[in-house]
Amino acid sequence: MSFAETYPDHVAGLQRATERVLAEHKYEALVLCSGAPQSKNRFDDQSWPLIPTPAFSHWCPLVEADSYLVIRQGKRPTLVRTVVDDFWETTAPPENEHFWEHFDVVTTEPGHASDVLPGGRVATVTRDPGAAPPGEVNPQELIASLDALRTKKTAYEIESLAEATRRAVRGHRQTAVQFAGGDVSELDLHLAYLAASEQDDLATPYKNIVALGAHAAVLHYVAYQRVRESGDTSLLVDAGAKCNGYGSDITRTYVRGDSPAARRFSELIARMDKLQQEICRRIKIGMRYEDLHDLSHRLLAVMLVEAGIARASTDELVDRGITRALFPHGLGHSLGVTTHDVGMKLRLPRAENKFLRNTAVIEAGQVFTIEPGLYIIEGLLAQLRADGRDKALDLNVIDELRPFGGIRIEDNIVVEAAGIRNLTREAFNG
C-alpha cells in the first residue's frame, strides 16, 4: 500500500492516543517543535542540517526548522511553519506529500511563532529547550507516555522502514561488488554506499560504519581511511537509509582472498549468518528480548567450539563471560525515527548485558534489529588473559583471525501476529 493510503490511519491513531495522554497528564495542548537551526561554530555562519525532534518526526516527515505541531483534544492538528525570506539558503522539499492534507497549515515569520501557538497549560517537546516557545518544556512523564506510542509500529511506519531497508540494501550490494573487485579504500566504499543508496552523508540515519580488516574490531568505526587495500582482507559495513524520517540499520561482513586465514574467516561468516538466522527463528511473541540476547550467547558458545575457537562447555563459555568478551554489544534495539528507538528499555538489563537497549517483552508490531557479532578486541581479550580465562580459547586461531577484525550480521525484523517479517532478507532476496 502507498504512504498516502497508510498515513491516514497512522495520524488518526496518533491523534487518539495523544488525546488520551494529554488528558492523563492534564495538558490542554501539546506543541511538538521540529527544532532550531544548530550553528556549527559560533565564529562562522554555517548550520548543521536539521535533525528534527523525534516526537515531531513521529507525526510528520517534514524536515524544516522552526516548525511546530499543535495537538489538542477534538481538533485537527495544526502545523505552524516559519517562512524565511532568504536568498542564501533553502530547505529541500519533502520527498512525499501525503501528510499535508492531515494538518491545518499556518505560516508565520521568524520569531513570531508564539503569536499563533496556544496558551494555557501547554506541554512543549523539543530538541532545543533554549529556543522553546512558551509551555512546560519536555515534561518527563509526558515524554515517557509519548515514547510508549513509538514501541509498536503502524502499517505506515513499517512500509517506511521497508523502503528505508530497500534503499540501504542497494548501498550494501554496491559496496560488496566494489570490495570483491579489490584495490579499494574505506573512503571509496563509504562514498560508493552513499551513491548507490542515493544519500548525502548527513542524511543517513547514522554515520556509515565502513571497516576494512582489523578496523572491524572497533564497533562504531567511522574513520574512513584513504589507503586502497588489495589482497586478502575483510569488510564490515553497518549502514542504513531513511524514508519519511524512518531509518534502517543493516550490517554485512565480507571477506576476500584464498589464504587459509581468509578461508577460515569466510567459514566463520557463514556460521555467524546461520546463527543470526537461528536467533530470528527463535523470536516468539511473549518472550523477553533479553532472553533472546541470552540465547544468542549460548548459540555463540556452541559455534565457537564448532569453529575451533574455543574448547569449553557452553555453560563455562557463557557464565565466565568469555562469549561476552567476543560479543560485547547488545543483540539489538527498536527501530523507528531514531536508530535506537525509545520505549523498549523501561527496565535495565542484567549487569552482564549492560549494553542491551531492548528489555521489553516481544509483541506484534515491534520492529527491532537482530545483530549478533564476534570480534577480536584486544582490550577485552586482555581481561580474559589477566585471570586465565583465555585458556578456554585457541589463541593461535584468535591470532589468525585478528587481521580480519570481526563479524556482525544485522537484519531489521518486524514482529507480526503470525511470525516475523525480515525486511532485510526480503530486500536482499527481492
> To the nearest 5 percent, what fractions of the chain are helix, strand and coil?
40, 20, 40
At 131, which amino acid appears? Answer: A
Residues 167-196 that bind Mn ion (CB under 5 A): none
Q: Which parts of 282-403 fold into alpha helices (H)?
A: 289-306, 314-319, 322-326, 378-386, 395-401
Of 134, 78, 73, 86, nearest to 107 (Cα)? 78
How far apart are CB 336 and Mn ion at their closest, in Å?
12
How far apart are CB 368 and ligand GLY at their closest, in Å?
11
Rounded Cα distance, 39 and 46, in Å: 6
Residues 242-261 that bind Mn ion (CB under 5 A): 249, 251
Q: Is 341 in the site for ligand GLY (CB under 6 A)?
A: no
Nearer to Mn ion, 165 or 251 (CB): 251
> Could you tell me the three cell numbers for 280?
530470528
Rounded Cα distance, 212 and 384, in Å: 25
Q: Is 249 in the site for ligand GLY (CB under 6 A)?
A: yes
Nearer to ligand GLY, 300 or 393 (CB): 300
> In the block, which residue shows the cell 589482497?
231
How far apart are CB 333 and Mn ion at their closest, in Å?
6
Nearer to ligand GLY, 207 or 288 (CB): 207
Nearer to ligand GLY, 207 or 264 (CB): 207
Q: Is 206 in the site for ligand GLY (CB under 6 A)?
A: yes
How far apart are CB 410 and ligand GLY at their closest, in Å?
6
Rounded Cα distance, 427 and 167, in Å: 9
β-strands 122-125, 29-33: how paired? parallel
Cβ contact 72:60 at 8 Å: no
Q: Mark 316-335 with x for binding to ligand GLY (rule: CB under 6 A) and - for no binding.
A: -----------------x--
Q: How far apart are the first and last CA of the chain?
A: 17
How far apart are CB 332 and ligand GLY at their closest, in Å?
8
Among residues 371, 389, 401, 413, the one that binds ligand GLY under rule CB under 6 A: 371
Total chain residues near Mn ion (CB under 5 A):
5
Nearer to ligand GLY, 290 or 371 (CB): 371
Q: Is 64 in the site for ligand GLY (CB under 6 A)?
A: no
Of 161, 247, 160, 165, nearest to 204 (Cα)? 247
φ, ψ (nearest 5 deg) of residue 260: -55, -40
Q: Is 234 in the site for Mn ion (CB under 5 A)?
A: no
CA distances for 104 relative to 7, 36, 73, 77, 419, angstroms: 16, 21, 15, 6, 39
Q: Is 238 in the site for ligand GLY (CB under 6 A)?
A: yes
Q: Is 147 in the site for ligand GLY (CB under 6 A)?
A: no
Residues 401-420 that bind Mn ion (CB under 5 A): 410
Residues that bind ligand GLY (CB under 6 A): 206, 238, 249, 333, 339, 371, 410
Residues that bind Mn ion (CB under 5 A): 238, 249, 251, 369, 410
